[in-house]
Amino acid sequence: MSTAPIYEIDPKTFWKDPYPDLKRMRAEAPIAYVPQLGATLLTRRDDIFENEKKIEIFSSDQPQGLMTVLMGQNLMRKDGAAHMAERKAIFPSVSPKTVKSVWKAQFETETAKALEELRPLGRADMVKDIAKRVSGEALKAITGLTNMSWQEMDRVSQGMIDGCANYAGDPEVEARCHDCTGSIDRHIDGMMPLLRETPDSSMLSVQMQAGLPEEAVRANIKLTISGGQNEPRDVIAGLVWTMLTHPEQLALVRDGKATWLQAFEEYARWISPIGMSPRRVARRYEAKGVTFEPEDRVFLMFGSGNRDEAAFEDPERFDVTRDTSQSIAFGAGPHFCAGAWASRCLIAEVALPMIFENLPGLALAGEVPFGGWAFRGPLEMPVTWGTIVS
Amino acid sequence: METISVTWILLDGTRKSVAVETGGNLMQAALDNGIDGIVGQCGGSLACATCHVVVEEAPSALPEIAPDEDDMLDMAEPERLPESRLSCQLVALPELDGIVLRVP
């Protein structure tokens, strides 16, 4: 355990709204040991930005970590050359060029289909009926698991996320996680022969084309699903809520004074969908008077760094015109989110403009609770819109 | 340790020259020397394009742009120019002594 000062949290309060505690930590104990989480938290933007790159100390290789144990060792749990080799192998499926030339049209088709189906109803739950589906359909295309339904995509993603956060060892959660990884493996089994025959730009196919070991291929598909479903889902719904509750910001976008991309980047800073990334301390290290011991668990708190008063003026204010270049919403360093360009395209170029264009008069129709600190987003979001009478 | 001189033309037009140890990349050199406008979010893993520079003067031919860098440069802000590079892909080698990079 590190020598960092101890900061106690109430896990339930922290889950509901972590920002007040994080603000206090940044001010009073920017590197703090939180006993309820069994980890030392780095909460200031520059500390995270600087230390995430020190992979020889803050290692991603966590053989005993739940993600590695339950999902296999994916590239996010490797460092150095081993990580870069797999990252290079998957690049053709998520590069800006592929996103633009291959995935964007599919994102548009599926989003249009979802909105056409829902539009006559005049109401929906933005999280469950729209964001989940748009996100799931995009992920089906990118992973190559087109034989899976979007509902199953969401289920298996959530099951793995819950499994990876199951520090209490609840056997039910673990069993559900195994069921989810089993489902993914069966869908991979189903797609592999087809993609061997007809290779494409999907994550599954490009890894097979690069000759990665099957174990790594499967682990990386699971990583993509565990990380590629909930973030776009949470940002799509969260950003719609934000725009509806900040009409002056929506007006800036509608009047062409700001772009959807700016709105997306600012939302990802303001309510980071991934609030935390864990690391294992590989060797003894001292930083800012704190000594870290080997095997200590460290949490890089992106969600806190993105509200760091030292990096952002009035950080709790949502402002689409803000310079977000200091944001660490996609991480900082070699593990920078590989899906960044796909998510920008899906959310800023496709989902948000299409939702506001196709659901005229979109309005909130009930409470919108948010939850989470490692992953954060709205839990439900009833909305209505005007139906077109023909 | 051998060093080379690297000059950045900053956003406000001023020039900043520093001695950079050979072997490292010029994105890291910019971060180490507090060059405003070079963010280097992904630490050189070719995933962010936030270390975009425009090469104003090169003492010798630069290494060719690899396909992955080329792809990423298309997404650079502001829009790429013929002399644009990602500074994470430029290594401080002795033949680049005197290179001048503009922060776009």
**Contact (CB<8Å) A333/B42:** yes
Q: Is the pLDDT of residue A364 over 80?
A: yes
The pLDDT value given to residue B42: 87
State pLDDT tens for residues A120-169: 999 999 999 999 999 999 999 999 999 999 999 999 999 999 998 887 88
* A100 exposure class (CB count in 10 Å sphere: 0-12, 13-18, 19+): middle
State pLDDT tens for residues A65-123: 888 989 998 888 888 888 888 888 999 999 999 999 999 999 999 999 999 999 999 99
Partner A contacted by B90 (CB < 8 A): no
- The pTM of this model reads 0.91
The pLDDT value given to residue A245: 98
Q: How far is B87 from chain A (nearest CA, A)?
A: 15
Strands (E), chain A: 31-34, 39-42, 58-59, 123-125, 277-281, 285-287, 290-292, 297-300, 363-364, 370-371, 377-378, 382-384
Partner A contacted by B65 (CB < 8 A): no
Q: Which of B43, B47, B50 sits opposite A325 (nearest CB)?
A: B50
Q: Is the pLDDT of residue A319 over 90?
A: yes
The confidence band for B55, taking pLDDT boundaries of 50, 70 and 90, is: very high
The pLDDT value given to residue A53: 86
What per-residue string of b and e applies to A347-382 under the rule 16 or more CB within 10 Å gives b? bbbbbbebbbebbeebeeeeebebebbbbbbbeebb
Q: Extract the tokens encoding A131.
A: 């964001």
**Contact (CB<8Å) A334/B43:** yes
The pLDDT value given to residue A387: 65
The pLDDT value given to residue A293: 96
Chain B contact probe: residue of A336, A337, A341, A344 with most B CBs at under 10 A? A336
